[in-house]
Structures are given as C-alpha cells and as structure tokens.
Amino acid sequence: MSLKNLAFSNKYNVLVTGGAGFIGSNICKWLLNNGNKVRCLDNFATGKKDNINDFINHPNFTLLEGDIRDLDDCKKSCEGADYVLHQAALGSVPRSINDPITTNEVNVSGFLNMLVASREEKIKRFVYAASSSTYGDSESMPKVEEVIGKPLSPYAITKYVNELYAEIFAKTYGLETIGLRYFNVFGRNQDPNGAYAAVIPKFVIQLVNHETPTINGDGSFSRDFTYIDNVVEANIRSLIVKDSEAINTVYNVAYGERTTLNELVKLLIEYLSKFDDYIKSINVKYGAKRAGDVPHSLASIEKAKNFLGYTPEYDIKTGLQEAVEWYWENLKNDTI
C-alpha cells in the first residue's frame, strides 16, 4: 500500500521540528492535507520560508520560530502536542568536519532538549531522523540495522548518539521512540544552493546552468538514493503503528537499490535534456575523494516492511523524474 492510499483513522496534533526544511516541510504538507493539526518549530538556519508558503496560512498550521538548542523553545513547542516528528538537525558530513562544535550543539544537545521536553510534556511518541552515516566503516552489504561500524565523521557520531539517547529515554522514562535511518534523501524542496548542497540538487542546478558537474572520486561510489515521498511514508507509518514490537527501535528508510554517481549523472542528463537539448553535450569531470565519505551504501528495508508496513513507491528513476520536473519548473520561475 503506497502513501497515497494510506488510511488515517485518527487525526493527530503533531509537532514537526525543522518543519521548514526539506524533509520537514514535505511531512507538514502531507499531515495538513490529511486533516491533522501541525505545528512547525524552526530557526531557519537551513529551513526556508518558501518551503512552507503553500500552507503557512492553513487554519491547522502553527509556525513557531525557535531553536532546539533552547530548552524553553522545545518545551513550548511540545505543549499540547500528541506526537513529535523530529527532523531538525544540521546535516552534511563536510559541514561537520569544518565545524564539529556547532554540529554537535544542534544534533546532540538540541536532540537531548527535545527528548527532555517530550518527556515532560508527555508526548505519546517521538519519531526522529536518524542517518545511514551511522553504519560508518561497516563493509557489510546490504546495511542491516543491527550491524554497524565506527563513525567516519563528526556528523555520523552525532546521529549515533541520538540513537543511544533515544534508547535510554525509552528504557528509563518510558518515552516511545522510533528512529529512521535515512539513506540519501532527494526531491522537492531540497535546496540546490550553498556550499553543502546535496549531490542531486547540486548536479541539477549545474546542468541547468550548462556547467560541468564534478564527481568526487571516480564515480564508482554508490548510494541508495531515496525519494522524499518514501521518507514521508516512513514517518507517517512510524506515527501510527500500534504493534509494541515495532516501537523503541530504528529502521532503514531507503528504496533498497544502489546507484553509482556515474549512473546518477547519466540519468540526470537524460531527464533534464528533455527540457534543454544542450544538456546532452555536457560532460562530467572528476575530483578528489571527499573526506568522511562512505564508499557504498545499500539498505535492507525488510525490518521496516515487516514492522511498519513500509512499501516505498518510488525507485531512483521515478523519483528523479519527479524531482527533475520540480526543479526545472522552480528554476525556470526563479522560485529557488
């Protein structure tokens, strides 16, 4: 059953931290479209007002400008909420290498603040964005939730600490938690600009501007690229799952297939050239490998299928086609 057919028997009052960000804004929109009350906590460090413009005046939507590093902001945002979908974080491995202190303050101290606030405000369930970076130097393929290696970046350390804290709060305080290890999420609302843009939006904007994309390494590194609607589905299923065995654990959120960077660029050129034939003639160049990068990433999604009923609808090709169309339209209209 896809997200489109997912029945919502109850209506919820949900706090989405980082709700103006890439993933958070997509979650907010889905929840609002399905009759729920949504509040968004965001400090707009990486989130954007443009991401929430479509629903900022929705009667069931409340925007709270605040910072998860401030415990009072966290407590105020949790007041009256039933559930928390915690998406707020500072992403990017390179950013964490350049500035590990801020990454730790947001991703660890901010995360702990949200757990404390959720406990004190008696939140029913705390669903949080974990990361595939937790697998670190583990060479096992596909990645299975119970087998991880040593982290390869400050960012990866922070996301693993999140899982440890969530486990302790579940055992010590009885707070229901579910962690979702995202694998290379892409799609609408993902910012193509800035020094830490993810690879897909970065390549898209370069190709649209007739620039030459640079691949770090020889292009053989592979990722389990995951379209945004699959991630929204995993969050919603984590929100509503009733089985006690499905709670207080972590899940991979991916499609379960891997694509090399060379294959990725080839697909992007193919799909973008439908709008601009010149893009067919653009060649890529290759640079040095990036510090902290994991060579290959492929998820087993059996656990999420079995316990959450997770059934991702979008593979890399269908997801990229939707994403490319969104980027082309928004770049053409100068809205991103």
Which residues are catalytic, by number? 155
**Cβ(221)–Cβ(293) below 8 Å:** yes
**Cβ(55)–Cβ(37) below 8 Å:** no
**Cβ(118)–Cβ(127) below 8 Å:** no
User: What residues does 41 pair with on adjacent strands?
Assistant: 17, 64
Residue in 323, 169, 82 with CA at minimum distance from that of residue 331: 323
Please say whether the dihedral angle defined by the alpha carbons of residues 254, 257, 263 and 269, taken in this order, is positive or negative. negative
How far apart are the C-alpha atoms of 190 and 12, rounded to whole Å? 26
Residues 6+ apart with CB under 8 A from 17: 24, 40, 41, 42, 68, 77, 84, 85, 86, 87, 88, 114
DSSP symbol at 106: I
Terminal Cα distance for the chain, rounded: 33
**Cβ(84)–Cβ(118) below 8 Å:** yes
- Phi and psi (nearest 5°) for 277? -65, -25
Burial (CB count within 10 angstroms: exposed 0-12, middle 13-18, buried 19+), residue 193 = exposed
Other C-beta atoms lying within 10 Å of the C-beta of residue 93:
21
Other C-beta atoms lying within 10 Å of the C-beta of residue 177:
27
Distance (Å) of CA 329 to CA 137, 189, 205: 39, 12, 12
User: What residues does 296 pair with on adjacent strands?
Assistant: 222
Q: Residue 261 in 3-state DSSP?
A: helix
